[in-house]
Structure 1
Amino acid sequence: MDAQPLYDLSPALQLMALGVVVALGPLAWVWLRNRQASAARRLSALTLLTLFLTFDLVLFGAFTRLTDSGLGCPDWPGCYGQASPLGARAEITQAQAAMPTGPVTHGKAWIEMIHRYLASGVGVLILTLAAATWWLRRRGTGEQAAVLNPWWPTATLVWVCLQGAFGALTVTMKLFPAIVTLHLLGGLVLLALLCRQAVSYAQAKDGRAPLALPPALRAGLAAGFALLWLQIALGGWVSTNYAVLACAEFPACQGQWWPPMDFRQGFELWRELGKSGSGEHISFAALTAIHYAHRLAAYLVLAVLALLAWRLHGAGLRHQARWMAGLAALQLATGLSNVVLGWPLLAAVGHTGGAAALVVVFTWAWCESASSPLPLGEGGVRARGARPYPEGEGVRP
């Protein structure tokens, strides 16, 4: 059988049509449930639903990666030049017969293509949000004040197109670890963009302003968010390099507190899967370094999450604080399960879902808050060490 080209655009129009079909269900649901609502209210509902479906897409992307289905169809955007595995039955059967446990099987092909169908549907929904927001803003009606700045959904549309490009590179570069990790991070950025828009619509609907936080707490929230992104990147690097089982016990690793590790090779970013930059097979010490770096960073991140949840609860962001604390506990449980239970699929997907949910919660907390200066003391001078807010409450500007 001739080698399949990495890019085969012949089924592109069919895949775009399938994306429209996938998107029609959510669009019809929003329309039917909000028939009597204003156009701005419908946009708000569609944004929230798109956020939910994008979260589901991130979870299904993790499922695709963890079931080794990322190369279930070795070309892009279709499957052996077809819009579905049904049209590629002969090619998939031949590949599966040659390697029964290899990357191409009927089951893996369907998982990979369903992921692409879902991604296309989410792309259509984001395109709809961008187009509808611009259209409503240009109408100049009284609803205009309740409509989000159209540049946010436009930026989201640009970003989802970039995500599509990274999805293509994930296949054509044969699960290159740096590309797969960036694809995961890009999906979480998409969640943050949609969450920002959903919060803005909710604030406009309820007529509320962000809650003022002490500057130190606001800075701590930003620092915690930055640490979370770093930890997710480390976790993605663990997963894409299949380094989870390099340490199969806790709290020690390989019977030692500091096992043999090769950080230089482990964090050599631009290399093929399973290879070093020089083309040699990656060492077990490098995989151990990848795993242990993520584990050590997790101790710091969990401590920061616990502290932030406590402080945010006292400052008035109680819902966000409770979600943050609960998700931190979930991450600890699923992370430990991955290690001591041998990387079970449910725990692995749940660990990715917990990380994605934490990105949403941090974005929610950031958008629902604002920094406020210290109160003025006598003579208009800001007092040092003064408590700027009543006990347990933030101050709304």
Structure 2
Amino acid sequence: MLIQLAIIGILFAVIPLAVVLFSKEQNKYKKLIAVTLFLTFDLIIFGAFTRLTDSGLGCPDWPGCYGEANPFQAHSEIKAAETLLPTGPVTVAKAWVEMIHRYLAMSVGFLIMLQMGIAWWKRKTRPFSPWLATSLFVLVGIQGAFGAWTVTMKLQPIIVTIHLILALIILSLLVWAWQRESPRSTTKYSFKFRNLLPLAFIVLLMQVALGGWVSTNYAALACHDYPLCNGEVVPQLDFEHAYVLWRELGRTGSGDFLPFSALITIHWVHRTFAWVVFALLAYVAYLGRKHADTKTLSNGVLAVLLMQLITGVATIYFSWPLAIAVLHNAGAALLVLLLSMLNYRVRSSVANES
């Protein structure tokens, strides 16, 4: 089975590798990073789709599906589980969603392993240390472990949330690796802009973690209106149970059923902190628009912020439609990507080194 899975993962990587090999880009290594970055972004979105369609346990074992390399081979077991519980976590469709997600993850892992190999092989002729590529490889290994624990620990919220944050950190490091293959900026950026950017990135990751906590606890519809929450500005909150990190899905730390007030708290904190994030990122983007070489990226941040506001509110008013929920997750990943680009561009500026 493991050999079959490895072959499938490599086959999924063939097309992106072909794009690199047949590209007119002189710097093939840069192209490899760009393609890996694109696939990683897609993988994050598909991971959101997997989570939102409740397909995370579509195959209840790991790394295969009922001990097989693909749902075709495990069709009888999957079908038996679906017949027993048609609306349960194991169905033919959900099994395919989960396994395609794993195949894509394996292909990204293979491409990152290839990057590391090239970085070490050409370490004497390349201007950059191979340790960034090595760090990415290590993180992918850790991410794979959390992917396994997501299944074996039955979607435990803290495991799934860490899995999401690690994916975004990998995305950010790939942005860093990709951008350092290009000439560095010579712009002298304002002191305020330079120092607020890292803070904006950290605050954004905090908000994504809060959003992941909402999603993994199935709290997206705990408040059914907006800007009020169930008709109240500040509903009855239950921090005692809402942020106990080590617990089973739907349970308190002591094993009892999680009260609905805890889900309301999880939802309300995410939507309230969103305004802090919106204000900080909008201000940082405003500062970035004053510099010619960060204006486009800053405009992108403003556009995605607006999209996030619209999709976040629409998710509540339209009772969490799948397409809008996936788009909201994609917007979060896109903000991470854009802020990573801004942080690298400003931090690596030649003018700022003096």
TM-score greater than 0.5 by the shorter chain: yes
Give the C-alpha shift of residue 344 in structure 1: 0.8
Q: Paired residue for 1:59?
A: 45
Identity, % of aligned positions? 46
Sort the Cα spacing of 1:210 and 1:288 in 2 relative to 1 into closer, same or farther, 3 A: farther
Q: Paired residue for 1:246?
A: 222
Matched, 1:265 2:272: no
Matched, 1:309 2:285: yes
Alignment deviations for residues 173-214 of structure 1 (CA, whole Å, 9 cap, x no partner): 0000000000000100010010001110122xxxx3353322
Alignment of 1:214-253 (within 5 A): 214-253=190-229
Q: Paired residue for 2:105?
A: 119
CA distance in 1, matches of 2:236, 2:187: 48
Alignment deviations for residues 56-101 of structure 1 (CA, whole Å, 9 cap, x no partner): 0000000000000000000000000000001111111110111000
Alignment of 1:88-107 (within 5 A): 88-107=74-93
Matched, 1:108 2:98: no
CA distance in 1, matches of 2:132, 2:260: 44
CA contact (8 A) 1:213 1:371 kept: no
CA contact (8 A) 2:13 2:110 kept: yes
CA contact (8 A) 2:143 2:167 kept: yes
Matched, 1:29 2:19: yes
CA contact (8 A) 1:74 1:171 kept: yes
Q: Paired residue for 1:342?
A: 319
Matched, 1:322 2:322: no
CA contact (8 A) 1:212 1:396 kept: no
CA distance in 1, matches of 2:247, 2:352: 50
Matched, 1:166 2:152: no
Alignment of 1:284-299 (within 5 A): 284-299=260-275
The amino acid of 2:9's aligned partner reads G
Give the C-alpha shift of residue 370 in structure 1: 3.3
Give the C-alpha shift of residue 396 in structure 1: 9.2
CA contact (8 A) 1:78 1:84 kept: yes
Matched, 1:197 2:192: no
CA distance in 1, matches of 2:8, 2:347: 42
Aligned residue for 1:212, secondary structure, equals coil
Q: Paired residue for 1:360?
A: 337
Give the C-alpha shift of residue 14 in structure 1: 1.2
Matched, 1:85 2:71: yes
**How well do the aligned residues superpose, as a CA RMSD in angstroms?**
1.6
2:135 to 150, 155, 161: 155
CA distance in 2, matches of 1:356, 1:178: 19
Q: Paired residue for 1:16?
A: 6
CA distance in 2, matches of 1:224, 1:149: 27
Q: Paired residue for 1:184?
A: 164
Give the C-alpha shift of residue 395 in structure 1: 7.8
The amino acid of 1:228's aligned partner reads L
Instruction: List gaps (5 residues or longer) in structure 1.
Output: 1-10, 373-393
Give the C-alpha shift of residue 243 in structure 1: 0.4
Q: Count matched residues.
A: 352
The amino acid of 1:163's aligned partner reads Q
1:131 to 117, 134, 159: 117
CA contact (8 A) 2:46 2:101 kept: yes
Q: Paired residue for 2:251?
A: 275
User: Rg bigger for which structure?
Assistant: 1
CA contact (8 A) 2:185 2:348 kept: no
The amino acid of 1:322's aligned partner reads N
Alignment deviations for residues 214-251 of structure 1 (CA, whole Å, 9 cap, x no partner): 22221111111111011001000000000010001000
The amino acid of 1:21's aligned partner reads L
CA distance in 1, matches of 2:186, 2:217: 41
CA distance in 2, matches of 1:227, 1:32: 40
Aligned residue for 2:347, secondary structure, equals strand
CA contact (8 A) 1:211 1:370 kept: no
Alignment deviations for residues 117-169 of structure 1 (CA, whole Å, 9 cap, x no partner): 0000111111111111211224x4xxx33xx3211111101111111000000
Alignment deviations for residues 320-347 of structure 1 (CA, whole Å, 9 cap, x no partner): 2111101101110111111111011111
Bigger shift: 217-226 or 334-343? Answer: 217-226
CA distance in 1, matches of 2:100, 2:301: 31
Sort the Cα spacing of 1:102 and 1:71 in 2 relative to 1 into closer, same or farther, 3 A: same
The amino acid of 1:233's aligned partner reads A
CA distance in 1, matches of 2:353, 2:61: 53
State TM-score, norm by structure 2: 0.96
Give the C-alpha shift of residue 261 in structure 1: 1.5
CA contact (8 A) 1:19 1:124 kept: yes
Alignment deviations for residues 23-77 of structure 1 (CA, whole Å, 9 cap, x no partner): 111111210123xx54xx0000110111000000000000000000000000000
